[in-house]
Structure 1
Amino acid sequence: MRSAVFGLFLCAVLPLVNAGCFSAERKSTEKFCQDSVDKTWHPTGSVWRNSKCFDCNCSADSMRCCDAMERPVNYPEKCQVEYDYTTCTFEVFEKVPCSATGGVLGK
């Protein structure tokens, strides 16, 4: 019991969380930016959040997107991350081994 509680604690307290930005230069004559994730077009001067939780803006000379959701890194191997892109949140939890019991379906 004590090791299970400790394992859950390790999963809950992550040593590092990673977030980042990327940008792409564009010609000032271009009137739209294309979101590289959703493949949608946005007019110069617009700001949007794409389906993978990046906040983007389209300016006259570049398009810049920054991660709106922190993403965990360096968590214990026995843990896994589940992202919810509708709320831009994540949950880290301990993996639970599964075993098949009973019969096997099939031919």
Structure 2
Amino acid sequence: MKVLLCLIILCIMMTLSDGACFTTLPKLGAKGCADPHDKKLHPPASQWQSNNCMDCTCDPQSQLNCCSKHGVASVPGCKPVLDVKKCTVTFFKDDDLTEPCPIFW
């Protein structure tokens, strides 16, 4: 019964998050992957964190795969704000972006 409850909670948490991933197919003759944010070229079979908090990989065939480092839950009345230096998300009130929202998990 505990396992079922844990699975239900996990499913609910996954549906509330807005994590994102994307894949870009390589161009003919590509010799690496360009970071979608800063356009820096990375060699095949490499991994890096972009300067907008994405975990990216360039596979051996130069296919680019990037995923956000965090999912963002929807919190009514609050707006998520990304700190790109720390790669963290903080919620602030919609009508006052200087006041953090109380988050109860």
User: TM-score higher than 0.5 here?
Assistant: yes
Aligned length: 81
Moved over 4 A (4+): none
Cα distance between partner residues in 2 of 1:93 and 1:27:
41
In the TM superposition, 1:61-80 aligns within 5 A as 61=61, 62-73=63-74, 75-76=75-76, 78-80=77-79
TM-score by length of 2: 0.65
How far apart are the structure 2 equivalents of 1:66 and 1:82?
18
Instruction: Tell which structure's C-alpha radius of gyration is larger.
Output: 1
1:18 alignment partner, SS class: coil
Look up the match of 1:12. Answer: none
* TM-score (norm: length of structure 1): 0.64
Larger RCO (CA under 8 A, 6+ residues apart): 1
Larger helix share, 1 or 2 = 2
Q: How far 1:27 sits from its partner (Å)?
A: 5.0
Gaps of 5+ in 1: 1-14, 98-107
Instruction: Report Cα offsets for 1:39-60 as digits up to 9, x if no partner.
Output: 1110111100001111001112
Structure 2 runs not aligned, ≥5 long: 1-14, 97-105
Q: RMSD in angstroms over aligned alpha carbons?
A: 2.1
Matches of 1:44 and 1:32 in 2, distance apart?
5
Aligned counterpart, 1:3: none
Counterpart of 2:6? none
Cα distance between partner residues in 2 of 1:68 and 1:53: 6
Give the share of equivalent positions with the same residue, in percent.
31
